[in-house]
Amino acid sequence: MPMPMPMPSEMNGKVDINGYSNPNETAGKVILCRAAVAWGPAQPLVMEEICVDPPQELEVRIKILFTSICHTDLSAWKGENEMNRAYPRILGHEAAGVVESVGEGVMDMEAGDHVVPIFNGECGDCVYCKCEKTNLCEKFRVNPLKRGMTKDGKCRFSTKDGKPIFHFLNTSTFSEYTVLDSACLVKIDSKAPLKKMTLLSCGVSTGLGAAWNTADVQAGSTVAIFGLGAVGLAVAEGARARGASKIIGIDINPDKFIKGERMGMTDFLNPKDLEKPVHEKIREMTKGGVDYSFECAGNLDVLREAFLSTHDGWGLTVVLGIHPTPRMLPLHPMELFDGRRIMGSVFGDFKGKTQLPHFAKQCMRGVVNLDEFITHELPFGKINEALQLLVDGKSLRCLLHL
């Protein structure tokens, strides 16, 4: 059954959205819609009516249909990185939606296309985008201090009395409508279930890509994953799909082990239950250490444990957690002479625009079990409840319906 399309009401050239919009009515105009606005560190998000400007050159305005909350939103909401405090702001970077209208020069998308935002964009033209060794982009790589659009540094969001509202991570998805650079938007097969595609926008791509692209986990190898949120469990999915023989999950919240077991993890450790450092236990369990470890908790002490858990000579530690405190890597340079390696992974080393459509198809074929990641669903208006579920460690991903 097609959705009935309510006519938007129009006042002073601004279109008030009530339900789904008709691009013929809204293109080129300011849209009035709901957004969850952050006004200060750790303050409840406030559902406000805001103005969303039309997209400028090479920008796209989309209607968000689903969004979810990742730990990076949580860190930003808490204001953990003081340099990155900017209010009012619209957080959120994991979502799926439909193109409402495109700005001048956008050739690869049109109104009605199904899309997934990517916070780590791909312009396709710069020296990084042309290099096979990296998925960073000169213009659209993650810059937590960026608060406006790339073209002019300005915000496309404002309050009804004209105060600018800052953007976040090239995406700002806690809004019924958002404006992105077209480099930060991936067109997805219209047959793919958009609800599940939301997970590809960050968590699942980040974790799974770290196992496949960054570490290139080999069949029969051993793996330790520190932090079993959506990111850590996505690493587990990736390692399982590659045929890892042992996948050890480490978390201080034992509730996470139930899910981990369902997703193919073979062993679990709670550091709180151990009388020795977790890396010693892991080395015992694996005759000298795992081949790969992944830090998905965003904690420097955990990172050191992850590093020491790998086998000397060839062990590789991949850092996925965001570490907001201004402390340095907890390693002595001489420790690297033991042949353990350490590297970071952003967005699972996927080049978003080029590789995500294929990854989406793999997910649709069931290579990855996406259903397990959606533990809760709520209407957008209950976003603060969703935030609390993540704070309390009760959810992996709570899908918000807009």
Structure tokens at 259: 């899910």
User: Is residue 123 annotated as part of the catalytic site, yes or no?
Assistant: yes
Q: For residue 308, what are the contacts with CB-CB under 8 A and spacing of at least 6?
A: 277, 279, 289, 340
CB 115 within 8 A of CB 97: yes
Q: For residue 357, what are the contacts with CB-CB under 8 A and spacing of at least 6?
A: 186, 187, 188, 189
Stretch that binds ligand APR, among 111-119, 127-135, 285-293, 316-324 (CB under 6 A): 316-324
296 binds ligand APR (CB under 6 A): yes
SS3 398: strand
123 binds Zn ion (CB under 5 A): yes
Stretch that binds Zn ion, among 3-11, 62-70, 145-153, 365-373 (CB under 5 A): 62-70
Q: Which does residue 250 bind out of Zn ion, ligand APR, none, counting CB within 5 to 8 angstroms by kind?
A: ligand APR
User: Is residue 59 annotated as part of the catalytic site, yes or no?
Assistant: no
CB of 276 vs ligand APR, minimal distance in Å:
15
User: Is residue 72 annotated as part of the catalytic site, yes or no?
Assistant: yes
Determine the Cα–Cα distance for residues 80 and 133; give it in Å rounded to an integer: 31
Determine the Cα angle at 242 with ends 241 and 245, to 5°.
100
Stretch that binds ligand APR, among 50-58, 113-121, 172-180, 245-253 (CB under 6 A): 245-253
CB 181 within 8 A of CB 212: no
CB of 26 vs ligand APR, minimal distance in Å:
33
CB 185 within 8 A of CB 109: yes
User: Is residue 279 annotated as part of the catalytic site, yes or no?
Assistant: no
* Annotated active-site residue in 48, 126, 375, 377: 126
Q: Which does residue 59 bind out of ligand APR, Zn ion, none, counting CB within 5 to 8 angstroms by kind?
A: none
Tokens 């006004």 sit on residue = 39
Determine the Cα–Cα distance for residues 306 and 343; give it in Å rounded to an integer: 12
CB of 181 vs Zn ion, minimal distance in Å:
11
Q: Which of 47, 74, 126, 300 binds Zn ion (CB under 5 A)?
A: 126
Binding residues for ligand APR, rule CB under 6 A, total 29
Determine the Cα–Cα distance for residues 35 and 172; give it in Å rounded to an integer: 10
- Residue 318: strand pairing partners: 294, 343
CB of 259 vs Zn ion, minimal distance in Å:
18
The torsion angles phi and psi of 182, rounded to 5 degrees, stand at: -60, -20
Determine the Cα–Cα distance for residues 391 and 298; give it in Å rounded to an integer: 14
* Annotated active-site residue in 26, 33, 71, 237: 71
CB of 61 vs ligand APR, minimal distance in Å:
26
203 binds ligand APR (CB under 6 A): yes
202 binds Zn ion (CB under 5 A): yes
251 binds ligand APR (CB under 6 A): yes
- Residue 367: strand pairing partners: none
x/- mask, Zn ion, residues 279-318, rule CB under 5 A, reads ----------------------------------------
User: Is residue 296 annotated as part of the catalytic site, yes or no?
Assistant: no
Cβ neighbours of 376 (radius 10 Å): 17
User: Is residue 137 annotated as part of the catalytic site, yes or no?
Assistant: yes
Q: For residue 186, what are the contacts with CB-CB under 8 A and spacing of at least 6?
A: 115, 116, 117, 118, 352, 353, 356, 357
Q: Which does residue 32 bind out of Zn ion, ligand APR, none, counting CB within 5 to 8 angstroms by kind?
A: none
Q: Which does residue 389 bind out of ligand APR, Zn ion, none, counting CB within 5 to 8 angstroms by kind?
A: none
What is the amino acid identity at position 172?
Answer: S
Cβ neighbours of 95 (radius 10 Å): 28
Residues near Zn ion (CB under 5 A) are: 70, 72, 123, 126, 129, 137, 202
Residues near ligand APR (CB under 6 A) are: 70-72, 75, 203, 206, 226-232, 250-253, 256, 271, 296-299, 302, 320-322, 390, 393
Residues labelled as active-site residues: 70-72, 93-94, 123, 126, 129, 137, 141, 202, 397
